[in-house]
């Protein structure tokens, strides 16, 4: 277990709760300990969180983590509690969410913070039925959400058309 840890090792799987008992002033108190399942086995939650934090520091991804934290706070509306938001961002970071083209925020997040990552993604312009406005999404998102795509203007999952496919003819004539 001394080989270097990677984010793959710490990628979070299911979280389980285990009941435990302690005695305080002669009284029996039941409580829960949560564990995160990873490639390295089940790791107690707070220990896992500090391992992820250490790994972010070692891999010099602190700036990216701060961006994710800002995104969780300003765009995702997860919680008013700072600690909860930080833990949520640790979970997302260890999952490498920012590289997951199936993530609904993949395009807006990377457009804001990592335009170079967007340049290497397969991007597809679409128009959602709800708002009728054009936006860009990824192939992974079009394949994942049962024929619907999340509209960035209203947040709904809607039917859509690929931009440029409005015409029934497959008319690919060059100009002239």
Applying CB under 5 A, the residues found at the interface with Zn ion are 130-131, 151, 153-154
CB of 129 to Zn ion, least distance (A): 8
Contact 8, 39 (CB under 8 A): yes
Q: Using the minimum distance from each CB to Zn ion, give the nearer residue, 34 or 159.
A: 159
What are the percentages of helix, strand and coil residues in the chain, rounded to 5?
Answer: 40, 25, 35
First to last CA, the chain: 66
Q: Which residue is nearest to Zn ion (CB)?
A: 151
Whose Cβ is closer to Zn ion: residue 118's or residue 151's? Answer: 151
For the CB of residue 150, give the shortest distance to Zn ion in the complex, in Å.
9
Q: Smaller CB distance to Zn ion: residue 41 or 155? A: 155
Cβ(53)–Cβ(68) under 8 Å? no
DSSP 126-167: EEETTT--EEEEEHHHHHHTTT-EE-TTT--EE-EEETT--S
CB nearer to Zn ion: pick between 104 and 130? 130
Stated as kind and residue range, the H or E segment containing 9 is helix 7-10
Residue 78 corresponds to which tokens in the numbers above?
Answer: 């997860």
Q: Closer CB to Zn ion, residue 111 or residue 133?
A: 133
Nearest distance from residue 78's CB to Zn ion, in Å? 22
Measured from the CB of residue 148, what is the shortest distance to Zn ion in angstroms? Answer: 11
Q: How many residues does the chain have?
A: 176
User: How many Cβ atoms are within 10 Å of 133's Cβ, its own excluded?
Assistant: 12
Rounded least distance, CB 128 to Zn ion, Å: 5
């Amino acid at each position: 277990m001394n080989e270097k840890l990677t984010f793959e090792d710490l990628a979070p799987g299911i979280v389980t709760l285990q009941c435990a008992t302690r005695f305080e002033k002669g009284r029996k108190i039941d409580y829960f300990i949560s564990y995160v399942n990873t490639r390295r086995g089940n790791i107690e939650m707070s220990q896992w969180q500090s391992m992820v934090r250490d790994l972010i520091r070692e891999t010099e991804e602190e700036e990216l983590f701060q961006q994710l934290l800002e995104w969780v706070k300003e765009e995702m509306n997860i919680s008013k509690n700072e600690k909860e938001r930080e833990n949520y961002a640790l979970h997302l970071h260890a999952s490498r969410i920012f590289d997951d083209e199936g993530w609904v925020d993949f395009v807006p997040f990377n457009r804001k913070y990592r335009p170079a990552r967007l340049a290497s993604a397969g991007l597809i312009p679409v128009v959602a039925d709800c708002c009728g406005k054009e936006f860009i999404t990824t192939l992974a998102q079009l394949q994942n959400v049962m024929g619907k795509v999340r509209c960035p203007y209203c947040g709904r999952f809607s039917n859509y058309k690929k931009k440029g496919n409005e015409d029934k003819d497959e008319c690919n004539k060059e100009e002239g």
